[in-house]
Amino acid sequence: MSLIARLRAYAADAFGIAPRTEAVEDDEHLAATALLVHVARVDGVLAPAEAERLARLVRGRYAATPEAADALIARASAFDAETRDIAMLVERIGRDADGDERRKLLAMAWSVAGADGTVDEFEEALVWRLGKLLGFDDGAIAGARGEGLAGTRGDPAGRGVGA
């Protein structure tokens, strides 16, 4: 649970107000989407394949409709532009988040990075750092890489995260 989520839960308990799990979930989805936007833009070029993969992953994981996904990506893009470091975004998600959810996010980041058929050195370094910030060791990061890059142009099986 992120620091903000903990503060909200404490305030809700202290004042006898039911906690707003929807707001916490929205905050975490915004931060996760901002991380994916950051990955898509880290090499200086938002390739059409990366934009399409980003939209598809957000629609499949964090938004119920294409319109909601587009709105979330727009908010996340603005949020990413205001954020100095991905560590701040990871803090918003919280290291206490479910390990499977964190692994899926890492695989999605690899998927966005490889959507254009290559993972350049900036994308590689960023997603590897993201994996470390999410609390994974090198083996788990490599496993998420394999899962996320399955289905990219270089994968003949045509599988992929969220496919």
Q: Does residue 95 lie in a domain region? A: yes
Task: Please report the pLDDT score of residue 10 as a whole number.
Answer: 60
CATH number at residue 124: 1.10.3680.10
Q: Does residue 155 lie in a domain region? A: no
Q: Does residue 99 lie in a domain region? A: yes
Task: Please report the pLDDT score of residue 70 as a whole number.
Answer: 94
Cβ atoms 57, 111 nearer than 8 A: yes
For 82-120, how does the pLDDT look when each residue is reduced to its tens digit (9 = 90+)? 988 899 889 888 655 788 999 999 999 999 999 999 899
19: alpha, beta or left? (left if phi > 0; alpha if psi -120 to 50): beta
Q: Does residue 160 lie in a domain region? A: no
Q: Does residue 85 lie in a domain region? A: yes
- Total domains in the fold of the chain: 1
Q: Does residue 157 lie in a domain region? A: no
85: alpha, beta or left? (left if phi > 0; alpha if psi -120 to 50): beta
Which domain range does residue 116 map to?
3-149
| Beta-carbon contacts of residue 56 (< 8 Å; ≥ 6 apart) | 162
pTM for the model stands at 0.78
For 65-79, how does the pLDDT look when each residue is reduced to its tens digit (9 = 90+)? 999 999 999 999 999
Biggest distance spanned by C-alpha atoms of the chain? 56
